[in-house]
Structure 1
Amino acid sequence: MKTKKEKTFNMRKCPKCSSEDVGVVIGENGTWECHKCKWKGRDIKEEELTEEEFMKHLDEKGEEIS
C-alpha cells in the first residue's frame, strides 16, 4: 500500500470517450459534461497519479512543462 507522503494529482476522464476535456455543469449539483462527445452524467472516471506518473502523462500528451 502506498503512503500518502508524496504529492498526488487527480485526473478526471469521460467514461464514454476517455477524453480529459470534462467540466462541471453549472447549476446541476454533481453533474459532469464531456466537451468532446457531449456526454453528461455523474459517474466520471477518476484516476490518482503520483507526480512522476503525472509528468510522464504530460510528456506523452506533448504538454509544455515549465
Structure 2
Amino acid sequence: QIVIGDMTNIGGNKFVLIERDSLYGSKAVVKRLYMVDLDVKDADGVLKKTLLVDLLNISDPTGIGGPL
C-alpha cells in the first residue's frame, strides 16, 4: 500500500509530498518526493505530480550511505 507520508506547502498552491510504502529500512520499496501544484491537472481532472527524487535510488558513488 502506497500512502502520503507528509505534505508541505512551498508557496502558493505548490506542495512537496513524500509518497511511501509501509515498510522500513532495507525492506522499503517506495520512498519518493513529488511536487504537486493544485492548479495543474491532467485531462481527467487528476492532479499532476512531478517526481523530484526517488529516495531509494540516489547515486552514492563514494559509499557514504553505508552498505546495502
TM-score normalised by length of structure 1: 0.26
1 or 2, which has the higher helix percentage? 1
Q: Which has the higher contact order (CA 8 A, sep 6+)?
A: 1
Please give the TM-score of this superposition, normalised by the length of structure 2. Answer: 0.26
Structure showing the higher strand proportion among its residues: 2
